[in-house]
Amino acid sequence: MNPPGLSLAEPLDPLLTLLPFKERARFNEVASGLHHTNHLLWSAEDGVRGDSLDAVQVADGKRVIDQLNMDRVRHAERLDEVIGAACPPPAVTAPLHTEPLSSVIDRLSVSVLRLHYTRLVAEDDTGVRARVAGVRTQLREARESLRCLAEDVAAGGRRLPNGARFKLYGTTTRTETRSAPSPHLPPVIALGGLSECGKTTSGIFLNRDENAARFKIGYLLAQAAARQGLADPYALPPTRQAELLLDELNRFADAHLGIGLITIESVHRAESITALKEVMGERLRVVYVRTPRAVRLARSGGDERALEEKDRIKIERGADRIPADVVLDNSGSVPRLHSGLRHLASPPVDSRFKTVRPEELGLPSAVCAATSRLVDALAVLSEEPCLVALTGSAVNGGWREGWSDIDLLVIAENGHSTGVTRAVDDYRAALQAYGDIHLGATVLPLAEAQARRLPNRVLAALVMLQEGAPALMVGPGLRLPMISRQEVERATPAALADVVATTRRLRHDPGHGHIRSLYKHLVLLCRLLLREQAVWVNGNDEVISEALRLLPGLGALELPPLPEVIAAHQQGTDQSRVLGAIEKAVDRLLIWHQRQCAA
């Protein structure tokens, strides 16, 4: 059951209006957390008072109460931090209030709950009804005192005491053995830095684009402490905090074996993260996100005092002294930040690709000759990190003269140099002159490849190359990130949406939906639909047959054999019949896809 509502807008309006929008949202979130925790705590304390409970049940209830009290303290201290950052400096002679704002808010929350529960009991107990008016008066007085305090603080007429609770009970617990990383624990990236530096943005990106499990360090500590009945993990020595953090990371990793990366945010305490680094070694990379103060101020909404107050709290904890393995500059653009994060998530490694001479690919002699001339022309790249490769049917044995394209991938330090551009243009002209062969050339700067800012088809090609498909040329010192099949599969739905849209356009655009383009898009759709379920197939016939087998409810596509399709494309043989069959198959597949999305 949800707690009764706690309205703070009116009594705290003098202070809340001083908060930037982002900080006000944080305040509302923490205040809601405090009120909800008080609601759970009320129920938990009632729960251990039953006469029928045995000692074990009471002990379990006490552990729940300890956990909730710890959450209550954490929410209260966070409220004081958020509000304190917005408070104007008080006058030197301003009197000191007896308690922090969070204590008054906490009392108000409890008063709301007390009124709610008193009313419930009063419905059945006439002896309690007389108390309702008194509780209502307490609630009104709590609101009034909070409003007056907010006005005084906003005007600089009253100082607030330090709201830290300094809880100590439960801090003497020790483990008998030293914690060690679980064999299932993946690499962990710990993100630290001052306020508004981009820690949260970085964590969200790594979670979304790199499939990292994302945690706040405070959450991990609170969970670990709750398991061991500790009230305040921050009162523990740094080595003990590190043990708690590692135990919680191990617990998560052992239960989630498919996770390849974990991030922990809000690393502010230098001593505890240093202790964690000593235990985890290279498995933990501590990243300090460095952002100029002017940039952070703009991101915070321009409230200089609020930023200074938040920085002060973090610096007191050691946020500027964390033992960073990497300093990530976040003073520039979002693409630059994302590139740096991609490097962290999947650092480039020495790449060892198998190479092959063009004549070993089984292509027509004229195509081999043109490819050899391309390699000779690109020999200027051979002294620098580079990759030159044919991909797709040209290397997997499925290339058909008069039908297939040639797909070229070039990765070089300067992918758009005059020499590379001229060599690719000459190669395209030679293929066009030989047999009207279309060249699909992808030329990429090395920096973009290392940052993995790549389309899905290039990621898939790199997987094939890393798994043993041959390249034409590999320059010395080439370093590329390892691309997994899972990464390609995660990016497949977006690529599939683009291909579906293109196929619909080809199907309904007169003059463009001819045999070759429609058939190739049909095969590509099937390939991506299979890849989305982790099935990788290359040849056209194999792709179609696997799609019919593995796409439930698709039914027969009734396509003509590929030689007939090629003959219709090249010579016009039965062109109308073949095109009609392909259009019917494309329509069937598009309708099937639409139905799957609607499901």
If one compares 11 and 86, the residue with the highest pLDDT of the two is 11
CA separation (Å) from 126 to 121, 122, 133? 9, 6, 13
Pairing of strands 386-391, 406-412: antiparallel
In a domain, 415, yes or no: yes
How confident is the model over 311-319, as a mean pLDDT?
89
Residues 507 and 462 occupy one common structural domain: no
Are 212 and 279 within 8 A, CB to CB? Answer: no
Residues 137 and 192 occupy one common structural domain: no
Kindly indicate the confidence band of residue 262, based on its pLDDT and cuts at 50, 70 and 90: very high
Does the pLDDT value for residue 345 go beyond 60? yes
Residues 113 and 220 occupy one common structural domain: no
Residues 242 and 333 occupy one common structural domain: yes
Q: How far is CA 112 from the centre of its chain?
A: 38
Token output for 428: 């395209």
Residue 581 φ/ψ, nearest 5 degrees: -65, -40
| Domain final residue pick, 292, 317, 345 | 345
In a domain, 174, yes or no: no
Residues 495 and 447 occupy one common structural domain: no
Are 389 and 465 within 8 A, CB to CB? Answer: yes
Q: What residue type is 555 in one-letter code?
A: G
Are 269 and 208 within 8 A, CB to CB? Answer: no
In a domain, 581, yes or no: yes
| Percent of the chain residues past pLDDT 70, beyond the cut | 96
β-sheet bridge partners, residue 284:
188
Are 424 and 410 within 8 A, CB to CB? Answer: yes
What is the predicted pLDDT for the residue at 357? Answer: 94
β-sheet bridge partners, residue 190:
264, 286
Q: Which range in 93-107, 353-367, 507-521 is most confidently predicted, on average pLDDT?
A: 353-367
Q: What residue type is 291 in one-letter code?
A: T
Which residue range(s) make up the domain with 432? 350-482
Kindly indicate the confidence band of residue 207, based on its pLDDT and cuts at 50, 70 and 90: very high
Residue 410 φ/ψ, nearest 5 degrees: -125, 125
In a domain, 432, yes or no: yes
pLDDT tens digits along 394-437: 998 888 888 999 999 999 988 778 889 999 999 999 999 998 89
For 536-566, give the DSSP string: ---SHHHHHHHHHHHSTT-----PPPHHHHH
Does the pLDDT value for residue 138 go beyond 70? yes
In a domain, 172, yes or no: no
Long-range contacts formed by 149-154: CB under 8 A, 24+ apart: 149/97, 149/101, 149/104, 150/11, 150/12, 150/13, 150/14, 150/15, 150/101, 151/14, 152/97, 153/14, 153/15, 153/87, 153/90, 153/97, 153/101, 154/14, 154/15, 154/18, 154/87, 154/88
Helix, strand and coil content of the chain, in percent to the nearest 5, comes to 60, 10, 30
Pairing of strands 406-412, 439-445: parallel
Are 367 and 497 within 8 A, CB to CB? Answer: no
Q: Find where tokens 């938040």 sit.
A: 310
Which distant-in-sequence residues (6+ apart) come within 8 Å of 59 by Cβ? none
How confident is the model over 106-133, as a mean pLDDT?
86
CA distance 330 to 326: 12
User: CATH number, domain at 198?
Assistant: 3.40.50.300
For residue 327, the SS3 value is strand
Does the pLDDT value for residue 173 go beyond 60? no
pLDDT tens digits along 188-200: 999 999 999 999 9
Token output for 426: 């000459």
How confident is the model over 276-293, as a mean pLDDT?
94
CA separation (Å) from 299 to 11, 130, 197, 334, 400? 28, 53, 9, 13, 56
CA distance 273 to 286: 8
Are 203 and 265 within 8 A, CB to CB? Answer: yes
For residue 304, the SS3 value is helix
Q: What residue type is 236 in one-letter code?
A: L
| Domain final residue pick, 456, 482, 508 | 482
Estimate the crossing angle of helix 101-122 against helix 55-86, to 10 degrees: 130
Q: What is the DSSP letter of 99?
A: S
Residue from 322, 242, 335 nearest 290 by CA? 322
| Domain final residue pick, 345, 374, 404 | 345
Residue from 244, 245, 221 nearest 173 by CA? 244
Does the pLDDT value for residue 174 go beyond 60? no
For residue 24, the SS3 value is helix
User: CATH number, domain at 440?
Assistant: 3.30.460.10
Residues 571 and 502 occupy one common structural domain: yes
Residues 336 and 243 occupy one common structural domain: yes
Residue 257 φ/ψ, nearest 5 degrees: -70, -15
Q: What residue type is 458 in one-letter code?
A: V
Does the pLDDT value for residue 592 go beyond 90? yes
pLDDT tens digits along 25-84: 888 889 999 999 999 998 888 888 877 888 878 877 887 887 788 788 888 888 888 888
Kindly indicate the confidence band of residue 166, based on its pLDDT and cuts at 50, 70 and 90: low
Q: What residue type is 480 in one-letter code?
A: L
CA distance 199 to 190: 9
Which distant-in-sequence residues (6+ apart) come within 8 Å of 19 by Cβ? 27, 82, 83, 86, 303, 306
Token output for 96: 């000191």
Q: What is the DSSP letter of 87?
A: S
Query: ∠307-313-319 over CA atoms, to 5°?
Result: 95
If one compares 16 and 444, the residue with the highest pLDDT of the two is 444
If one compares 124 and 33, the residue with the highest pLDDT of the two is 33
Sign for the pseudo-dihedral over CA of 136, 137, 142, 143: positive
Residue from 162, 163, 210, 156 nearest 188 by CA? 210
Mean pLDDT of all residues in the chain?
Answer: 88
| Percent of the chain residues past pLDDT 90, beyond the cut | 52
Token output for 329: 């500059």
In a domain, 435, yes or no: yes
Greatest CA separation for the chain: 102
What is the predicted pLDDT for the residue at 538? Answer: 83
Residues 339 and 222 occupy one common structural domain: yes
Total number of domains constituting the chain: 4
Residues 519 and 539 occupy one common structural domain: yes
Task: Give the predicted TM-score (pTM) of the model.
Answer: 0.71
pLDDT tens digits along 150-161: 888 888 888 888
Residues 326 and 443 occupy one common structural domain: no
How confident is the model over 344-371, as a mean pLDDT?
92
Residues 502 and 591 occupy one common structural domain: yes
Residue from 333, 322, 342 nearest 266 by CA? 322
How confident is the model over 447-458, as a mean pLDDT?
92
What is the predicted pLDDT for the residue at 175? Answer: 47
In a domain, 166, yes or no: no
In a domain, 3, yes or no: no
Residues 460 and 522 occupy one common structural domain: no
Estimate the crossing angle of helix 55-86 against helix 304-317, to 10 degrees: 130
| 161 torsion bin: left (phi>0), alpha (psi -120 to 50), beta (else) | beta
Does the pLDDT value for residue 148 go beyond 80? yes
What is the predicted pLDDT for the residue at 302? Answer: 76
